[in-house]
Chain A
Amino acid sequence: MFSNILIYFVVIPLIMLLGLFLCRNIQQIRAVAVTGSVALTALSIWLLIDYIGLRHAGVTDPMLWVDSWEWFAPLNIHLAVGVDGISIAMLILTGVILITGSFASWEIPQPKEFFLWLVLLSTGVYGFFISIDLFTMFMFYEVALIPMYLLIGVWGSGNKNYSAMKLTLMLMGGSAFLMLGLIGIYYHSAPEGQPLTWNILEIARNGAISHGWQTFLFPMTFVGFGVLGAMFPFHTWSPDGHASAPTAVSMLHAGVLMKLGGYGCFRVAIYLMPQAAHELAWIFIILTGISVVYGAFSACVQNDLKYINAYSSVSHCGLVLFAILMLNTTAMTGAIMQMLSHGLMTALFFALIGMIYGRTHTRDIREMGGMMQILPYLSVCYVIAGMASLGLPGLSGFVAEMTIFVGSFQHADLFHRIFVIVACSSIVTTAVYILRVVGKLLYGPVYDEHHMSLTDAKWWERTSTAALIVCVAAIGFFPNFFVDLIKFTFSPEIFTVLGLN
């Protein structure tokens, strides 16, 4: 079992949990958190290099390092693992956010418990990304969701009990749909007379889910994952949840957890039920298209920095699902790029908001101003994050959005055209709300004299933000590397739905 590299993505967090449990002071806790997350990131980068090597050597399997260990025989549940380029991209993203999140919570109160829950959460995330067994995937998914309740409820701010409850319940509601869908898939996973399976690759190979069942199970799974991807109208947990969550949790949640939604939609809903995806995509294109503009317009009139960013996430994550539903290679590549890009830049945003909030004790942009003079480092980072968000070339947002728009525009019918143009219009609205914040918060005269005495970023804050900016710029400067990494997954032989177009 331990000869498979992937299993270490779950083992290392478990060791970290043990280590944290034994820690006696904050230095040790920090050491464990940083060492562990660096180890995880290093492991995923090593995996990436190995993966590229194997692909260059001509290995064409849809997933590599595939392995399966029986867990519960009567229901045929396995711990099955395997990754492709997309999973690896997500693993690296998780590692980066975990490192930067650890630095961003350098001085959190009750660090031991905080990091325990945070690492448990990341165990779930890592487990989710490496699993190819629907049941274990779902289990890890839940493992990632539950700690959120405590993290927000205990370490949060503002109306935290309400937000924690709301977030958890809404995501649980999504899980209910999802579980129904997954069990449905299981019972139709194999042709008559053959053993049923939870394994994604086997289910896809069997292609046994009948058309009628697909039209039922596709919406179930898509909505189930879509709730976590902040799809309209199931997105309202996002603003409240993010607003109350502590910095690192917001970072991890918006940066990685919301990606679970998009990843699941594409790995389960579309991959396993291509016919239904092809027929029913239009319903969800409408919903996600609404998400894109709706989130952007809502963000324009918010005054709380976290609300602005949460609504902006609704818009950007809406674009992820929107692009996945376009069901062509280019747009889906764009969707994955957007997941990476949004994960990094929104983590950067939440880190910066947390740092500003930690100093000014307010997130209301009407009560702040002229931060550029007081906190130049943080303000410059904020402008860079904003520029990435509004899609400035050279940063990650541009690459993702343009790939999505060009890909989506390949559909020649009027319905798609209209929605693509509507989605495109978000680039203007995004500029409006980003520049509104830049103008009010960073530029202009100093609003509050008391803010004059604030000090700029500490070294761990600089590490955290600089690392994220480097990643955002790396994608922006060398997009082809990432696109190539992802692209192999979308070959028509593997991805049945592409053959249907």
Chain B
Amino acid sequence: MDITIPILILAIPLFMFIFLGLVGVKMSHKLAGTLGTLGMGTVLILSYYTAFTYYFSGNPAFIDGTNRLQAVIFDQTWLQFTPSLAIKLGFLLDPISAMMLIVIPTISFMVHVYSLGYMHGEKGFQRYYAFLSLFSFSMLGLVVATNIFQMYIFWELVGASSFLLIGFFYTLPSAVSACKKAFIVTRFADLGFLIGILVLSFYTRELDFLPMTQNPAGVLASFEGASFLGASALTWALVLIFTGGMGKSAMLPLHIWLPDAMEGPTPVSALIHAATMVVAGVYLVARLFPLYMLEDAALMFITVVGAATAFYAAMVACAQIDIKRILAFSTISQIAFMMVSLGVASRNNVAIHEGLGYMASMFHLFTHAMFKALLFLGAGALIHAVHSNNYTAMGGLRKYMPVTHITFLIGCLAIAGIFPFAGFWSKDEILAACFANGTFWGIWMMMVAAMTAFYMFRMYFLVFWWDNPDYEKEHHGHRPHDPGLAMSLPLVFLALVSTVAGFIHFGEFVTFDGHEYQIHINWAIAGLSMGIAVVSIIFAGWLYAKKNDRPKRMADSCRWLWTAAHRRFYWDEIYLFITRRIIFDGICKPIAWFDRHIIDGTMDGLAFITNKASVAIKGFQSGKVQMYIWWYLMGAVVLGLIVAVCVL
């Protein structure tokens, strides 16, 4: 395949970032927005072209019979460490990167268009588009990485662009602390990622993906059974690398940054904190999946972390008031679904059901990106209309905002897993994969799926039904209304995609070993999970469809649980304690004190002693001749006495 198009896919957003960053200030808002959107539109076309070429062209570089291949389009050494270890920047086309080449530009383009309306008139509009381009560049570079260090590079860059975008409203103290938190927590996770890379590369002598993932037996052999603290070095490497993924994908206990990241502009939440960047952790595990297959301990770790996170986030989502926070926790929970799905996809180095879990995870990544972006953009429209993030300021909005209502409802149905919307298909595959591995995981995840349907429809009913507040009085005569075309079109488009995406025969495109296979819906599981989801929705409707005091009574009957869930089970307080009391007060301040008083005190003390000593002896150099003579005579007398004593 020609390398021009892949290079352009990366170069256009990078150029847009530099261009808008340098001269954007001089432009009008309209020009900057148009340029950014056009740039992204070009990238969209080029990446669609690339992905379609990959899937459908039948090029022998991409497909061999029914077996999809991994193709390195280009690879350029960027930094040579040792003769065998080098950072390369390249472009890898394989089933999952081609899929991401559809997901990222689609969502990014929708967000670019949507932001034309949503961010209209904001100060720093040009900067916003520059950052969006930087993010798109970094995310695209991440998914096409040929080299684990290339992934790390872009991994850091998406982190930085996320930091910049969360802190977009940098005058708000809450946004400032949110962006700091996001960066530092993910940075901490990246430390694990980095050490993992170091361990892995030390043994394998390799940083490129393909030589490792296409020859897992060689990787295992290169470790020669090295172990540390009872676990094999390979397990350590894989778990440490996964730590990086835990940070980016907001898995327990590194999830705390994502809810706060909602301080950023809503379209940013849709793009970065729902659809693309936060799934980087899933993508990382998928990319290295052949290695994870070697170590069941690492896969088990992923499964447990994912299952715990999914449940935790679903619990918390039931007790939030801010609609963006609800969506954030729902994102955490859904990403955890993908993680679990990967975790259960293999045991004893054998892919269960032809790697069903792997395929399901990627399928869910795809559909989730669409309907979660839709939900976030819908939430943006709601916030735009009522100027509040809290559902307490909403209610009965279905009459005022029909387009938003219908699209949002589609999003909710999709995430709840109702036939025939996208989430139904992908979630069913995940549940099937869980049951194939163990009944416990299946039941556990089905329970979380039921909670998903409940909290999503709790929000839906509270926003669009429930009460009917007097908006005209509260908003000085303004009635909430549907947003303009720039914001509505992306909503409608994503709603359409969320409706039909489930019918894609995903197994023909993405499988863990490239072999195409047909997806079969397991109607027993699908029927059961959908039945539970419908019950949950009806329950949510019973509680929230009309204003009543049932929700309050229910919360009162279990107040401690509600409060704990509302406060996110106090994770933030725990972190605050660790950072403030232990790290700042317990480590940094004592070290600073030690430096000023002990280390520096020693130096000052030396100077002090020198000074005092010279003061004490400076009298000897007084220049008074009488003194010199006196000392001379006294010395002579003492010497004479000594001589005399010795002689006599």
Contacts and interface: CB of A to CB of B under 8 A. Distances in A.
Contact of A427 (B149, B167, B187): B187
Interface string B159-174: 0100000010011010
A470 to B, nearest CB: 12
A483 B149 contact: no
B595 to A, nearest CB: 5
Interface stretch (A150-158, A274-282, A294-302): A294-302
A435 interface: yes
A390 B163 CA distance: 13
B584 interface: yes
A451 interface: no
Most buried by A among B175, B177, B194: B194
B110 to A, nearest CB: 27
Given A233-B599, A409-B202, A294 B171 contact: no
A406 B595 contact: no
B176 A443 contact: yes
B588 A406 contact: no
Contact of B198 (A390, A405, A425): A405
B157 A421 contact: no
A329 B82 contact: yes
Contacts of B77: 480
B591 A424 contact: no
Nearest to B601: A236
Interface in B174-189: 175-177, 179-180, 183-184, 187-188
A370 interface: yes
Contacts of A298: 588, 591-592, 595
A457 interface: no
Contacts of B603: 166, 170, 236
B195 interface: yes
Contact of A443 (B171, B187, B191): B171
Interface stretch (A35-43, A103-111, A394-402): A394-402
A12 to B, nearest CB: 34
A197 interface: no
Nearest to A406: B81
Nearest to A334: B81
B584 A300 contact: yes
Nearest to A438: B180
Interface in A283-299: 294, 297-298
Contact of B149 (A402, A435, A480): A402
Contact of B592 (A302, A330, A410, A425): A302
A370 B587 contact: no
Contacts of B642: none
B524 interface: no
Contacts of A232: 599
Contacts of B85: 406
A143 interface: no
A432 interface: yes
Contacts of A431: 183-184, 187
B194 A424 contact: yes
B519 interface: no
B177 A439 contact: yes
A53 interface: no
A300 B154 CA distance: 27
A237 B603 CA distance: 9
Contact of A297 (B198, B587, B599): B587
B155 to A, nearest CB: 9
B170 A372 contact: yes
A494 interface: no
Interface in B590-610: 591-592, 595, 599-600, 602-603, 607
A424 B157 contact: no
Contact of B79 (A420, A442, A479): A479
A383 to B, nearest CB: 8
B622 interface: no
A328 to B, nearest CB: 9
A393 B79 contact: no
Nearest to B187: A431
Contact of A435 (B183, B595, B600): B183
A34 interface: no
B157 A330 contact: no
B538 interface: no
A411 B587 CA distance: 29
B215 to A, nearest CB: 22
A403 to B, nearest CB: 6
Nearest to A298: B592
Contacts of B194: 405, 424, 427
B81 A403 contact: yes
A301 to B, nearest CB: 4
A183 interface: no
B289 to A, nearest CB: 24
B202 A294 contact: no
A300 B588 contact: yes
B583 to A, nearest CB: 8
B90 to A, nearest CB: 15
Interface string A173-190: 000000000000000000
Nearest to B85: A406
B202 A410 contact: yes
Given A297-B587, A479-B79, A370 B160 contact: no
Contacts of B152: 393
Greatest chain A CB density within 10 A among B85, B202, B588 is at: B588
A475 to B, nearest CB: 11
B280 to A, nearest CB: 15
A193 B422 CA distance: 88
Contacts of A480: 77-80
A425 B190 CA distance: 10
Contacts of B81: 330, 402-403, 406-407
Contact of A370 (B171, B591, B602): B171
Contacts of A479: 78-79
B201 interface: yes
Interface string B428-440: 0000000000000
B156 interface: yes
Nearest to A294: B591
Interface string A420-436: 11001101100110011
B152 to A, nearest CB: 8
A427 B183 CA distance: 12
Interface in A342-396: 370, 372-373, 387, 390-394
A424 B82 contact: no
Nearest to A487: B80
A138 B188 CA distance: 43
Contacts of B547: none
Interface in A417-474: 420-421, 424-425, 427-428, 431-432, 435-436, 438-439, 442-445
A399 B78 CA distance: 10
Interface in A308-342: 329-330
A380 B202 CA distance: 38
Nearest to B175: A443
B478 interface: no
A435 B156 contact: no
B171 A373 contact: yes
A54 interface: no
Contacts of A330: 81-82
Given A297-B591, A392-B157, A393-B156, A424 B195 contact: yes
Nearest to A411: B202
Given A402-B79, A405-B194, A427-B191, 9 more contacts: A233-B602, A301-B584, A301-B589, A392-B157, A393-B157, A409-B199, A435-B180, A439-B177, A444-B170
29 contacts: A166-B607, A170-B603, A297-B587, A297-B591, A301-B589, A301-B592, A330-B82, A372-B170, A390-B187, A392-B156, A393-B156, A394-B153, A398-B153, A402-B87, A406-B201, A409-B201, A410-B82, A412-B202, A427-B191, A428-B184, A431-B187, A435-B180, A436-B180, A439-B176, A439-B177, A442-B170, A443-B179, A444-B171, A480-B77
5 closest Cβ pairs, A-B complex: A393-B153, A443-B170, A236-B600, A300-B588, A443-B176
